[in-house]
Amino acid sequence: MIDAMDKAAGLSPDDALFAARRFRPEFVQGAEECRLSVLQPANDQGLAPNLRVALARRMAALNGDPVLMAEYDVQLAQLGPTEQLLALAQGETDLNEPLATIVRHVDLITLTPKKAEASHIALLVKAGLNNPQIVALSELIAFVNFQTRVAAGLRLMRST
């Protein structure tokens, strides 16, 4: 069965790389469980699925990944996005709070994690995020940065 990572990497069941990926069923299943845990969690901690997918779309763009951008665009369209969330997904920075603070954080941690400081977490607190939301947001950011790298690596393998 084709999963989200195969789709992102452009793999089909007759590719040698599709089979090579299955040499590690732990990675295949584990990555899918992780995807569900950050994008469709049973308990969303008050960060709604459409916000999560909109942020994922934004981070796919920051990582220069048109395949994942298109995939998240499709998912977002099915989740009844508001104008604000559509703008957020497209990379807009002029947003209402707490979205404006959230996207500043998302952009910083995606592009320059090295620059992260205590003050950045304080800004999330000031914008009204509680501790479970700060952790859930951090895991979502981290997951999309994982996903885009695995997909990028697999695409390079496929092309060589």
Q: Does 14 bind another protein (CB under 8 A)?
A: no
Q: In a 3-state reduction of DSSP, which class is residue 144?
A: helix
Judged by CB under 8 A, how many residues of this single chain contact another protein? 60
The binder of another protein chosen from 3, 7, 34, 79 (CB under 8 A): 34
The stretch among 15-23, 68-76, 77-85, 92-100 that binds another protein (CB under 8 A) is 15-23
Q: In a 3-state reduction of DSSP, which class is residue 101?
A: helix
Q: Which phi and psi (to 5°) does residue 138 adopt?
A: -60, -40
- Give the separation between CA 60 and CA 57, rounded to whole angstroms: 5
The binder of another protein chosen from 2, 13, 16, 90 (CB under 8 A): 16
| Nearest alpha-carbon partner for 71 in 8, 9, 149 | 8
The stretch among 74-82, 88-96, 113-121 that binds another protein (CB under 8 A) is 113-121
The stretch among 75-83, 91-99, 132-140 that binds another protein (CB under 8 A) is 132-140
Q: Does 153 bind another protein (CB under 8 A)?
A: yes
| Nearest alpha-carbon partner for 62 in 112, 27, 28 | 112
Tell me if the bond preceding 113 is cis, omega within 30° of 0. no
Give 117: exposed, middle or buried? Use CB within 10 Å, 0-12, 13-18, 19+.
Answer: exposed
Positions in the binding site for another protein (CB under 8 A): 16-17, 20-21, 23-24, 26-27, 30-31, 33-34, 36-38, 41-43, 45, 62-65, 109-116, 118, 120-122, 125, 131-132, 134-136, 138-143, 145-150, 152-154, 156-157, 159-160
